[in-house]
Structure 1
């Protein structure tokens, strides 16, 4: 392969006239699908001078809770004076949400410039037997270039996209690995059993690099223990090396006690809703304590607390309207639905009636999801996200009706394929003492959230 000089790359626009064109090019690569494997990533790293070797990563994998854990880590590190890069997916409002520095999106001009640099390399690789890099691979490389050549953070909070072992983020060697949990998601790609899924996520474990996990299922934890032992990596598991105890709960604040191997916190709190956020915060706290112990991270207790309380993660048990009360939650698999149901059964979201709107991708386990949700709802509005892989709302309604005898309930069921009309219907039905919930794929949550807050459509970037 021939390559252009840096000066040539900087002055050529490579068909990318502006930021919108750059995002259109990147998201257009979704046509190449999900293709696990690291050969394209490794080649791009080699051709770009290995930007990944210049950075300190906290690598976060797991079925649920990755984003919230990343949000906690980012806020606490920034609060304590560390410049922090964050790479997460999918985004909620805008493509640039994926790549952040100190909680702020990558500037559009930086994304455009780096895209122009990267596009010729992507096209060269596309012409080889390796085939075109995917949308997620290109997004990952853009993040690495931004952090390693533009913003230079002290730490990068680095979320996997799918699985771990063959995920494009796994070209890095982190200072710390985190596996939040393992559940039933992406099993069509990662494996038929939770053990197989766990083995894929454990693929982020590197030689001698500490690992933190909230995994609780014994057979799943055994897989992670085995992987950590094989790599001589210290493992910190919730319930063994660290634990938490809830103290109090209200909308926008949950207090808890935390105990770890190096110290304890008697009075910690988070601003995110749901019991599961205490688990995510506990994992993040263990991560910070390991970095304090082994990487000389300097943390002040009041700044740690301030970081946890101020951390935000859109679309997860997020109350976006008070009159009527509208709660958004991106639960899209059985474990996410169980977590949502647990929150709805608690005191925080008391209501007269529950009106529930959902839209799904066709690749998910809807039966497991619905078994947790159906017993709670008075009205169920089935809609469709504005994405190619959407689940047909009519067939979802058939599944719902088949599960009603088992659930022992008879909610009102409405099929409205247009999500904006479905949202209007949901809001109209929700009285002052009721609660409206929008749940399902994050693509739906993104559209609904952007529409409700800004009255505009979200960017699309599947």
Structure 2
């Protein structure tokens, strides 16, 4: 057992990334030992290749604005480990993390002695979250899937609503080589007779999800089929404005302070998920409070503006699907400005494909770099890539200073790639700004 927070955290991080055998048997075994805390609270389950975190943030703020105490489970963290489990945006205290780790630890030791094998790091953190919210600390808990859906350790819950935001090519070694296979894995969160809300998803993947919903007798609400966005425009200051509509309500105008068409789509998915949740639970929601919740939503590291002149933006576009969205946003909003992009990514991503997309932007200079993380692509990896109008700079701090110094006040510097990288840059800038 642990006496200090740091000891508990070191134990959690020292555990394997993935369990010895895929599946939910370890989770079910541990939950059974604890009287099934996962059955003691209401939840919304959110899967998808990209957009999970932003959709969750929009939902949290709308629910909070309507008087709910909202628990959240997110990954990865941006500033501190504790924020992975939060209540109304407040991360758990160190003492709570220590207490929960000490509750889970004996179970993990027992597991090692039976044929199920020891749990993964994510299973431990998920267990801590389920135990905490099973104690009654929130009215509703928004739970973000780690990877995939079907075998993800969060898939032991029985939510009020399931949400699938987007489907793209990512984690193919775990989820499958085609969009259909990836969609089938993510559709694994759909439970019998539990409604599901889907975001902007292509035909091939959507057909798989629709079939799964039909098999499970689940009502499915689809973006651009059952709920819509109209009159979308980018605001001259920062953010987007649009009208939301489904068969039950029309919200006009909605303003969000997160930039990009994809954030409009994430917000629409969140509104529809809230509408379904309120219908299922009888929660009364106020349209004005929905609007204010959306306007107040902020999600760090997602098109986050850090500086104005030059414009410095952090955006954790960590796979090809997200980079495509980033490219669209740059072409729409910054076509007349000089743009410098600094990217660091994990070595298991298609960095060449990501770099090719970024180099397709006419007014853009690309810098590839690395950062201090075990899975990060190193300089040797980056030097093997084909770069048309890009360079490799070993130290990202040097790349950042160089880019900012070269820009005039109308220029744009975007830091992108792995969310772990964006988190590291964000922490560095915050410290620098305090000096």
> Do the structures match in fold with TM over 0.5?
yes
Where do residues 135-214 of structure 1 align in structure 2 (5 Å cutoff)?
A: 135-149=121-135, 151-214=136-199
2:425 pairs with 1:425:
no
Q: Distance in 2 between matches of 1:352 and 1:78?
A: 38
Cross-structure match for 2:77: 91
| Contact persistence 1:320–1:453 (CA under 8 A) | no
Gaps of 5+ in 1: 1-13, 405-410, 457-462
**Consecutive aligned runs of 4 or more in structure 1 exceeding 6 Å deviation:** none
Q: Distance in 2 between matches of 1:430 and 1:117?
A: 52
Deviation string 1:250-302 (CA, Å, 9 cap, x unpaired) is 34331101111212112112111111001000001111111222221211111
User: 431, 437, 447: which one pairs with 2:424?
Assistant: 447
Cross-structure match for 1:360: 345
| Contact persistence 1:212–1:286 (CA under 8 A) | yes
| Contact persistence 1:385–1:443 (CA under 8 A) | no
SS in 2 for 1:346: helix
User: 46, 52, 75: which one pairs with 1:60?
Assistant: 46
Q: Distance in 1 between matches of 2:6 and 2:38?
A: 27
Q: Distance in 2 between matches of 1:170 and 1:79?
A: 28
SS in 1 for 2:385: helix
Q: Distance in 1 between matches of 2:189 and 2:300?
A: 26
SS in 2 for 1:233: coil
2:292 pairs with 1:306:
yes
| Contact persistence 2:62–2:293 (CA under 8 A) | yes
Deviation at 1:218, TM superposition (A): 1.2
Distance 1:34 1:91, change over 3 A: farther
Deviation string 1:67-97 (CA, Å, 9 cap, x unpaired) is 0000011111111101110001011111011
Q: Distance in 2 between matches of 1:240 and 1:94?
A: 39
Distance 1:104 1:249, change over 3 A: same
Deviation at 1:31, TM superposition (A): 5.3
Cross-structure match for 1:318: 304
Cross-structure match for 1:328: 314
Q: Distance in 1 between matches of 2:22 and 2:323?
A: 27
Q: Distance in 2 between matches of 1:418 and 1:59?
A: 38
2:211 pairs with 1:234:
no
Deviation at 1:455, TM superposition (A): 4.2
Q: Distance in 1 between matches of 2:337 and 2:17?
A: 45
Cross-structure match for 1:281: 267
SS in 1 for 2:221: strand
Of residues 275-284 and 431-440 in structure 1, the stretch that sits farther from structure 2 once superposed is 431-440
SS in 2 for 1:168: coil
Of residues 391-400 and 22-31 in structure 1, the stretch that sits farther from structure 2 once superposed is 391-400
| Contact persistence 1:254–1:269 (CA under 8 A) | yes
Deviation at 1:353, TM superposition (A): 1.5
Q: Distance in 2 between matches of 1:185 and 1:34?
A: 22
Deviation at 1:235, TM superposition (A): 0.4
Q: Distance in 1 between matches of 2:341 and 2:128?
A: 38
SS in 2 for 1:416: strand
Q: Distance in 1 between matches of 2:432 and 2:185?
A: 40
2:324 pairs with 1:338:
yes
User: 223, 242, 247: which one pairs with 2:208?
Assistant: 223
Provide the TM-score with structure 1 as the length reference: 0.90
Distance 1:124 1:34, change over 3 A: closer
| Contact persistence 1:35–1:134 (CA under 8 A) | no
Distance 1:421 1:56, change over 3 A: same
Of residues 40-49 and 390-399 in structure 1, the stretch that sits farther from structure 2 once superposed is 390-399
What is the root-mean-square deviation of aligned Cα atoms in Å?
Answer: 1.7
Distance 1:423 1:21, change over 3 A: farther
Cross-structure match for 1:293: 279
Deviation at 1:127, TM superposition (A): 2.7
2:79 pairs with 1:102:
no
Cross-structure match for 2:374: 388
| Contact persistence 1:244–1:259 (CA under 8 A) | yes
User: 98, 119, 122: which one pairs with 2:108?
Assistant: 122
Q: How many residues align?
A: 431
User: 132, 152, 175: which one pairs with 2:118?
Assistant: 132
Deviation string 1:429-450 (CA, Å, 9 cap, x unpaired) is 3321211111101110010011
